[in-house]
């Protein structure tokens, strides 16, 4: 920085002003400083910059290494912070790296808020964490009351199931089976949405747990009009197994998945699915984090985002 100042014939303070892009420098000097910086290939040290200004302007993100949807969310988070003064610091968790380690690393970097993607920690731990730093949880629901200080941004799983059922009903299907996800996150909401939508149509809910061999046997024996799987992996597995047994999809039976993961988009799979709106989730999460950092009063505790139906080749009218 001193070198740039010397070369441009100004003080270090003026270099700082120019590099930050704030008013307070004449056009000539601004130009001169920028040229000197370019010639010396000078780029301000991010760490020093953040240290000097009292704050870090950094949102810490904890994501799972082996969850494809987190990749989508991260992509959307980066576009959500583009153009804002915020930057993102990533710390992954995985098989050998615990969530707590990732959080600790972010706190040691003095991030101003934490964005936790599908956190595994119990609600009580999250509440304790939220007492020290603003926390926004993405892609996981948290019972109200347990952790009121924690912000939540999530997809409306119940609406997602309802949307899927309504799509199938619109195609003329009547007997719609739900292969549910047991105790997986979101599974309960999806079951509820399924039940409600099916019942509302005057039909009877039929639930089976995950598509294992026996379940598939039963399905093949008494083929329903459509199957609503718990997620895309389950749906894809089901789809392949059914086809291997000579059942045409979507000819004989329609299949719907959840998540709009990359599996669903594969040409050989081409799965109709209900996806999460990653862009919107990300944008809302950043806004929520920002609001909490600034101490805005009116920050909602929980924001629920409607899902998006993606129609592909695994569903067809009766």
Which residues of this chain interact with its own copies, rule CB under 8 A?
A: 43-48, 50-51, 56, 65-66, 68, 71-72, 74-75, 78-79, 87, 90-92, 94-97, 104-105, 107-110, 233, 237, 240-241, 243-244, 262, 266-268
- Report whether 177 contacts 203 (CB < 8 A): no
Q: How many residues does the chain have?
A: 318
> Of DNA, its own copies, none, which one does residue 107 interact with (CB within 5 to 8 Å by kind)?
its own copies
> Of its own copies, DNA, none, which one does residue 145 interact with (CB within 5 to 8 Å by kind)?
none
> Of DNA, its own copies, none, which one does residue 16 interact with (CB within 5 to 8 Å by kind)?
DNA
User: 24 preceded by cis ω (within 30°)?
Assistant: no
The whole-angstrom separation of Cα 230 and Cα 209 is 9
**Is residue 81 at the binding interface for DNA, with CB under 7 A as the rule?**
no
How many Å separate Cα 208 from the centre of its chain? 28
> Of DNA, its own copies, none, which one does residue 35 interact with (CB within 5 to 8 Å by kind)?
none
* Minimum gap (Å) between residue 48 Cβ and DNA: 4
> Of DNA, its own copies, none, which one does residue 300 interact with (CB within 5 to 8 Å by kind)?
none
What DSSP line would sit under 171-227, residue for residue? Answer: TT---EEEEE-TTSTTHHHHHHHHHHHHHHTT---EEEETT-HHHHHHHHHT--SEE
The whole-angstrom separation of Cα 116 and Cα 129 is 11
- For DNA, give the closer residue by CB, 56 or 254: 56
Sheet order of strands, 254-259 included = 206-209, 176-180, 226-229, 254-259, 272-275, 308-310
**Is residue 24 at the binding interface for DNA, with CB under 7 A as the rule?**
yes
* Minimum gap (Å) between residue 61 Cβ and its own copies: 10
> Of its own copies, DNA, none, which one does residue 65 interact with (CB within 5 to 8 Å by kind)?
its own copies
**Is residue 54 at the binding interface for DNA, with CB under 7 A as the rule?**
yes
The whole-angstrom separation of Cα 62 and Cα 65 is 10
- Report whether 249 contacts 255 (CB < 8 A): yes
**Is residue 14 at the binding interface for DNA, with CB under 7 A as the rule?**
yes
- For its own copies, give the closer residue by CB, 67 or 149: 67
- For DNA, give the closer residue by CB, 37 or 198: 37
The whole-angstrom separation of Cα 175 and Cα 178 is 10
Binding site for DNA (CB under 7 A): 1, 10-14, 16-17, 19-20, 23-26, 28-29, 42, 44-45, 48-49, 51-54
């Amino acid at each position: 920085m001193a070198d740039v100042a010397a070369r441009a014939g100004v003080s270090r303070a003026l270099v700082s002003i120019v590099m930050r892009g704030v008013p307070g420098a004449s056009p000539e000097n601004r130009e001169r400083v920028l040229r000197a910086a370019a010639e010396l290939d000078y780029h301000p040290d991010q760490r020093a910059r953040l240290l000097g200004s009292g704050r870090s302007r950094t949102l810490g993100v904890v994501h799972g290494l082996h969850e494809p949807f987190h990749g989508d969310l991260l992509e959307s988070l980066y576009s959500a912070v583009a153009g804002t003064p915020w930057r993102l610091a990533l710390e992954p968790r995985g098989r050998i790296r615990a969530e707590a380690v990732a959080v600790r690393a972010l706190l040691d970097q003095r991030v101003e808020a934490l964005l936790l993607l599908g956190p595994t920690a119990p609600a009580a731990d999250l509440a304790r964490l939220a007492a020290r730093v603003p926390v926004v949880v993405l892609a996981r629901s948290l019972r109200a009351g347990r952790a009121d200080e924690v912000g939540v941004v999530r997809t409306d799983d119940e609406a997602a199931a309802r949307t899927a059922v309504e799509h199938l009903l619109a195609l003329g299907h009547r007997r719609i089976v739900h292969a549910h996800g047991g105790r997986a996150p979101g599974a309960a909401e999806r079951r509820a949405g399924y039940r409600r939508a099916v019942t509302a149509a005057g039909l009877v809910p039929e639930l089976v747990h995950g598509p294992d061999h026996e379940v598939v046997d039963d399905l093949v024996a008494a083929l329903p009009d459509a199957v609503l799987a718990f997620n895309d992996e389950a749906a894809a597995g089901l789809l392949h197994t059914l086809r291997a047994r000579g059942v045409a999809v979507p000819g004989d039976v329609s299949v719907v998945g959840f998540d709009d993961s990359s599996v669903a988009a594969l040409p050989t799979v081409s799965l109709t699915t209900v996806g999460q709106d990653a862009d919107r989730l990300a944008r809302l999460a950043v806004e929520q984090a920002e609001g909490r950092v600034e101490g805005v009063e009116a920050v909602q505790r929980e924001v629920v985002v409607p899902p998006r139906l993606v129609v592909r080749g695994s569903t067809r009218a009766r």
